[in-house]
Copies of this chain bind each other. A is one copy, B any other.
Amino acid sequence: MARAATTSDVFNAIAEPRRRQIIDLLGSNGDQAVNDLVGALRLPQPAVSKHLHVLRRVRLVSASRRGRHRVYRLNPKELKTVHDWVKHYERFWTHQISRIKERAEQRARESHTQPPEPPRSKSQTQEQP
């Protein structure tokens, strides 16, 4: 199997930095026509249209005609999926107290799931990628 389509998922759609940039622009400046985004992103128009196409497939944006322009609007609710997933890990970097607590729980989990193995001569080694 190849990599999942960018349109298969919000996670895949926002993996592309340009698309996050588009989201940010629509979020901070409000609705925009394609050419406004082209100007801001300094990217050829077809590229922008293609990115918008992906974002529309996953419903992160919606489009409406306005004269000859096509105005895009952010639909931020679709980002909730991402937020919901990643917020579980928020506690790991927020407050010192939570972090200390986390480490204790971590150790507890380890001692539950990892029954002490027989002693080993060469013990654990930290590795770099």
Contacts and interface: CB of A to CB of B under 8 A. Distances in A.
A85 B85 CA distance: 13
Contacts of A114: 30-31
Interface in A43-98: 53, 56-57, 59, 62-67, 71, 76-77, 79-80, 82-83, 85-90, 92-93
As for how many copies of this chain the complex holds, the number is 2
Contacts of A3: 3, 6, 16
Interface residues of A, number: 55
A4 to B, nearest CB: 7
A79 B71 CA distance: 33
B110 A31 contact: yes
Contact of A120 (B30, B66, B126): B66
